[in-house]
């Protein structure tokens, strides 16, 4: 049986249960072998038998559920922005109505009936305009036998609202001591749950930004050499294997290929994450999207545009984004049991009172009391208020939480995997050690004057060091020649100055000096880069360069170990450097010289054992940031890395990694406490509201006391959540 893979962009989903509903309904269609819908990315993937089901049929089924199918990523982004704008507006309306009702409660008008009518007016707007969102989703949920939070909100707020509305419109139907209104409770619960949805949708609306930015890195045009030897500019995505393209200084490489002519330092940081350009010459391979910093390259295309390393990175990002994380919706799980139970108890209560007491009013009031006390104010506030407090606490500590859902996962991670350059280390090349003939500052001034003419990171490190020593760097430089990947040579004060690799100095017939050669070998063994310097064919000095380890990195690694979290170093840098850094930090697991797609695979291998947190900052880290259960991006990192991460550490302090874990622990603990209090109030109050104590003690929980219990549970939950702001991370 032949099957096809179908991918659709679905707009309009506001919660995980929306994606669940689409999965359940479409999976039942004849010809749909598998359905997977991601709420986070708004993407749906289907494995279908095209002989049994048409693509249009699947689209129509999704549309009947109340969602829309958009054609491409751009259209999806537009729709997400519209959905977020609408959600923010609904929240504003609900919040305004809640404030108005609370004002009328605390500062009532002298005309009591007018005061009640105004409260009902604002309560009606909140209940059926912003609250209409919960009604529509509750109907869909019930239709799919999924009793989620939307059902609970619709049920509870409806009980409070309609009891209040009948009390206002038909007060003669109720005894005087039962004429109470609960418009405030219904309105406030809608407001706070919408606030939680705004936070969630805000991160969801930006979920595809990182893909868009990464796609922008791909070259749009390419200059090819035609069969008659002429240069012609074409679209990069039309390049064919075997085409010859020209890459000038400052341009991005058009396609994956092999250099036929020329040499240059190529900035490969988007792939390797390392700050030093790599020297590329004839027969070396280059990758699309990397930058030719100098020189001229003629490249033979080896891969089509849809098969380049950059395109594979984009594909990996998409795949990682579409994978579902095992995020538990505690309140929804409770409500799936709680909602049917409450409805059953309410109906049962009505019939027991109706037949036992033969009193329709008491039966109705008892039934409504059950529904009011089960109103999910506290249950609905349990998670949103805790999350609002946690997000605020995190922001205050330089931790930007893009999706509150990640707080459920961080506390459970077993592996903390780190990129090296720019994450564990400073990401800046600086002077390490140096040895000069006779420790002469005059020699350093000559060498730094020569390096001042180059933009290479090593040159900048030498000149910055010389400036710190307050040297003038005023030597006149003549006949400067820069040999990419090797070094520079020039004439200063009628002397030949050569700075670069050992092989470069040897080719320039410089006399060897074991003192300096031993120095660079030793430094390279420590994981540092090193170059030699010569004047008039004699070695006069050697420099080593380092990328310093960030302050607090070692303490952070130890704290992770104390929490039974295993630290891992994962880098594209060479093995010696990686192991040297790991040794200083106390990291035992090291993976070096890995490309982005290999990093991605390493992350997946660790995930087979347990949950993984990845911490990175570069474009090359973006697939790993998305694939990991939790991705932490540094604020100083690339925009693409920050878009791909779940959390952005804005202050770039590694101590924030530990703070993020602590914040997760405190937040989930608070949510569970909130859920316990919310549930215990209902568990104790519902039987009393149903009249369980009446036969023994004559106690009947009327709607007013049900409302008080409901409000008290909400206050408890809010105060408990606000304690998060006082926690020390």
Helix (H) or strand (E) holding 585, with range, is helix 575-585
Per DSSP, the three-state class of 107 is coil
Active-site annotation holds for 148: no
Q: At what angle do helices 149-169 and 112-128 cross, to 10 degrees?
A: 150
Contact 631, 614 (CB under 8 A): yes
Distance CA 541, CA 538 (A): 9
In the numeric block, the tokens 């995190």 are attached to: 394
Q: Which two tokens stand for residue 687?
A: 């039987």
Q: For residue 253, which of 274, 282, 224, 222 has the smallest C-alpha distance?
A: 222
Q: For residue 378, which of 706, 702, 16 has the smallest C-alpha distance?
A: 706
In the numeric block, the tokens 């459970």 are attached to: 412
Contact 690, 366 (CB under 8 A): yes
Q: For residue 589, which of 560, 617, 623 has the smallest C-alpha distance?
A: 560
Q: Which two tokens stand for residue 225?
A: 């050499």
Q: How far apart are the first and last CA of the chain?
A: 56
Q: For residue 287, which of 314, 305, 262, 274 has the smallest C-alpha distance?
A: 305
Could you count the other beta carbons within 10 Å of the beta carbon of residue 215? 15
Helix (H) or strand (E) holding 716, with range, is helix 703-722
Q: Which two tokens stand for residue 295?
A: 């020189």
CB crowding 345-379: b at 16 or more within 10 Å, else e: bbeebbeebbeeeeeeebbbbbbbbbbbbbbbbbb
Contact 186, 161 (CB under 8 A): yes
Q: For residue 593, which of 623, 620, 617, 612 has the smallest C-alpha distance?
A: 620
Residues 6+ apart with CB under 8 A from 24: 144, 146
506: Cα within 13 Å, side-chain hemisphere: 4
Q: Which two tokens stand for residue 602?
A: 């390493």
Distance CA 297, CA 280 (A): 9
Residue count (the chain) = 729
Q: Which two tokens stand for residue 198?
A: 């705004």
Contact 452, 482 (CB under 8 A): no
| DSSP annotation of 511 | B
Could you count the other beta carbons within 10 Å of the beta carbon of residue 275? 17
207: Cα within 13 Å, side-chain hemisphere: 27
Catalytic: which of 419, 573, 617, 646? Answer: 419
Helix (H) or strand (E) holding 432, with range, is strand 430-436
How do strand 32-38 and strand 68-70 relate by DSSP bridges?
Answer: unpaired
Contact 505, 498 (CB under 8 A): yes
In the numeric block, the tokens 């994962």 are attached to: 570
Residues 6+ apart with CB under 8 A from 100: 118, 122
Residues 6+ apart with CB under 8 A from 512: 506, 539
Could you count the other beta carbons within 10 Å of the beta carbon of residue 283? 8
Per DSSP, the three-state class of 415 is strand
Q: Which two tokens stand for residue 189?
A: 């619960």
What residues act catalytically?
419
């Amino acid at each position: 049986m032949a099957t096809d893979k179908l991918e659709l962009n679905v707009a309009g989903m506001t919660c995980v249960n929306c994606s669940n509903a689409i999965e359940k309904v479409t999976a039942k269609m004849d010809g749909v072998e598998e359905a997977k819908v991601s709420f986070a990315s708004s993407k749906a993937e289907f494995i279908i038998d095209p002989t049994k089901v048409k693509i249009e049929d699947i689209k129509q089924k999704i549309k009947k559920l109340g969602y829309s199918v958009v054609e491409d990523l751009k259209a999806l982004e537009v729709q997400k922005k519209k959905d977020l704008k609408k959600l923010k507006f609904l929240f504003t309306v609900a919040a305004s109505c809640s404030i108005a009702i609370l004002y009328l409660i605390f500062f009532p008008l002298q005309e009591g009936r007018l005061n009640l009518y105004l409260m009902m007016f604002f309560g009606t707007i909140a209940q059926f305009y912003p609250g209409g969102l919960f009604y529509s989703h509750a109907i869909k949920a019930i239709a799919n036998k999924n009793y989620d939070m939307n059902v609970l909100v619709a049920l509870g707020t409806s009980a409070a609202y309609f009891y209040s509305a009948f009390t206002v419109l038909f007060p003669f139907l109720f005894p005087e001591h039962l004429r109470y209104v609960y418009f405030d409770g219904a309105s406030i619960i809608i407001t706070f749950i919408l606030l939680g949805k705004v936070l969630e949708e805000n991160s969801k609306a930006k979920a595809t930004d990182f893909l868009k930015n990464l796609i922008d890195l791909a070259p749009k045009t390419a200059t090819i050499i035609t069969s008659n030897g002429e240069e012609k500019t074409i679209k990069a995505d039309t390049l064919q294997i075997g085409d010859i393209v020209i890459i000038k200084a400052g341009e991005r490489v058009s396609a994956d290929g092999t250099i036929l002519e020329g040499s240059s330092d190529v900035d490969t940081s988007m792939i390797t994450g390392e700050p030093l350009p790599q020297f590329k010459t004839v027969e070396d391979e280059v990758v699309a999207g990397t930058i030719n910093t100098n020189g001229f390259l003629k490249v033979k295309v080896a891969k089509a545009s849809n098969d380049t390393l950059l395109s594979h990175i984009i594909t990996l990002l998409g795949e990682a984004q579409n994978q579902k994380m095992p995020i538990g919706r505690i309140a929804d799980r409770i409500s799936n049991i709680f909602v049917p139970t409450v409805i059953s108890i309410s109906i049962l209560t009505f019939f027991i009172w109706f037949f036992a007491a033969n009193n329709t009013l008491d039966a109705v009031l008892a039934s409504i009391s059950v529904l009011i006390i089960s109103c999910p104010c506290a249950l609905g506030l349990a998670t949103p208020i805790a999350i609002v407090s946690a997000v605020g606490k995190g922001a205050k500590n330089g931790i930007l939480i893009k999706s509150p859902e990640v707080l459920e996962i961080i506390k459970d991670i077993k592996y903390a995997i780190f990129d090296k350059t720019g994450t564990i280390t400073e990401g800046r090349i600086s002077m390490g050690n140096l040895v000069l003939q006779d420790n002469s500052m005059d020699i350093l001034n000559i060498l730094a004057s020569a390096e001042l003419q180059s933009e290479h990171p090593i040159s900048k490190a030498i000149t910055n060091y010389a400036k710190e020593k307050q040297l003038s760097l005023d030597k006149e430089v003549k006949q400067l020649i820069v040999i990419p990947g090797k070094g520079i040579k020039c004439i200063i004060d009628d002397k030949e100055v050569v700075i670069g690799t050992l092989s470069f100095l040897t080719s320039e017939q410089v006399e060897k000096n074991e003192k300096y050669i031993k120095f660079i070998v030793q430094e390279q063994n420590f994981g540092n880069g090193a170059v030699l310097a010569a004047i008039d064919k004699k070695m006069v000095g050697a420099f080593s360069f380092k990328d310093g380890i960030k302050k607090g990195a070692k303490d952070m690694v130890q704290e992770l170990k104390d929490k039974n979290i295993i630290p891992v170093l994962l880098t594209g840098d060479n093995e010696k450097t990686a192991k040297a850094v790991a040794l200083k930090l106390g990291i035992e697991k090291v993976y070096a010289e890995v490309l982005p797609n290999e990093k991605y695979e390493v992350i997946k291998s660790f995930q087979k054992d347990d949950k993984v947190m990845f911490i990175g900052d570069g474009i090359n880290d973006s697939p790993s940031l998305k694939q990991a259960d939790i991705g932490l991006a540094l604020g100083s990192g690339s925009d693409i890395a920050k878009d791909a991460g779940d959390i952005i550490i804005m202050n770039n302090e590694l101590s924030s990694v530990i703070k993020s874990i602590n914040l997760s622990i405190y937040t989930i603990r608070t949510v569970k406490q909130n859920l316990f209090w919310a549930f215990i109030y209902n568990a104790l109050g519902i039987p009393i509201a149903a009249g369980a104590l009446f036969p023994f003690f004559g106690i009947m929980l009327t709607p007013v006391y049900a409302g008080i219990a409901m409000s008290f549970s909400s206050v408890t939950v809010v105060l408990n959540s606000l304690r998060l702001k006082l926690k020390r991370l």
